Amino acid sequence: MDAPEDELTSDCVDSSASVSVNASNGTNVNSITLQSLAKYRYYRFKVAAVTSAGVGEYTHWNYARTLAGNPDAPPRDMNVTLTSTGLRIVWDAPDILSGPTSYLVQVNGPDMNITIVRAPGEMTNFILTNLTAYTRYFVTIIAFTGPVEQAASDGKAIGPFEFQTLEEKPKDPPKNVIVTVIPEEVNCVRVTFTPPEEPNGNITAYFVYIYEKSQLVKNVRLDFTQRDQNNITAVIEGLKGGRTYSLQDGTSGMAARGWPLVRRNATMAETYVIGESNDCMRENNTDMYCNGPLKPNTVYVFKFKATNINGQSTDSEYSEHVKTAAAVYGLLTKVDQIILGVVLSVFLAGLLIIICCSIKFHQRKMEGGTYSPRKAEMTETKSKLDQLVAVADLELKQENLNRLVCVFIFDVKASIRRT
């Protein structure tokens, strides 16, 4: 039988129903049991007597709540946000609550099993940290209303769902790094190592930084020549023979002690004089390399090239700036001094003879004509001036001759050395 609604709006009432109970032979009916009610729900009741004439007056509303029971549905809309070392889990309550609902969150992974409980009214989320990068974990959430010990049996679960944390750089470096020299190769070495024990991801490449005397000289990506489960082998090319290098992995710190690229036998030190010959000055010289001569007062830098029997070569570093000495013409040997003395003596003797002859010629000219004191004085003065000019000219010529002779002697010596 329908009952009028009062006090509550329609959106607060999920449903309504009327139940009739027959009364006969004057029997008083004091109770009735209602079945199939929902768990943990509020209900209201009112009663009216009915005769053949109609429905009497209703009682006031009576309110009652059913007891809590085990959940009928699991949590909803579970969402997991991942990082490389953690995860954040968020979920919603079941569509229909069967009582004060708690939640049991379980996270299982390699060597770990974490369980936490969210009590009724607490936040429906959970943040877990200190996980391993690039690792699979399983998440399960159970809704329950009774004791936590009975959650697994009486509750409703969502999951388990599998999730994988994100990648990050390897936690540890490669191990057992061995660098070996390749026979008959001066520009290559072979490197063997084992992968990191905790790669934290899918390693797709290895990068190596190569140092020489703490200076970065090369950054290369390794091309694998051999790879198995435990060892990786690669070849590093483009190095220089005779050098000592150290190498380091660009992401995980793979390191090896300094190692020489070639084996050299102990030999006696040798001295090599650069520019000591005139090979470069020879006519029709077809040699690719020659040694000198160098130019005086000139700055040079030098480097050495080492070549093996296979034609493979490598260069040394350039030397510091070296400047050759200036050409010196004043320093003569004893033989040069004797030759210079003889030449100068002959030249001076000839010059003195010319001067004496010139003086006698002027005297005879004066004696042969009419004597004039004024003319005699002028002649004497002119004679003295001529002598002074001759002496000055002699000194100048002697200096020029000295330079010319020095150059001549130097050229003669250079020609003798060439021959």
Q: What is the pLDDT of residues 64-109, one digit of tens each?
A: 888 888 999 999 999 999 999 999 999 999 988 889 999 999 999 9
- When pLDDT is cut at 50, 70 and 90, the band that residue 253 belongs to is very low
Q: What is the pLDDT of residues 277-287, one digit of tens each?
A: 777 777 777 77
pTM above 0.75, yes or no: no
Predicted pLDDT of residue 20: 78
Q: For residue 161, what are the β-bridge partners?
A: 139
Predicted pLDDT of residue 14: 74
Report how far residue 233's alpha carbon sits from residue 246's, in angstroms, rounded to the nearest whole number: 17
CA distances 49 to 61, 175, 277, 312, 363, Å, are 15, 91, 140, 117, 187
Closest CA to 357 of 381, 392, 390: 390
Percent of the chain with pLDDT over 70: 73
Burial class (CB in 10 A: 0-12, 13-18, 19+), 356: exposed
Q: What is the pLDDT of residues 360-383, one digit of tens each?
A: 777 766 665 555 566 666 666 777
Average pLDDT for residues 178-192, to the nearest whole number? 83
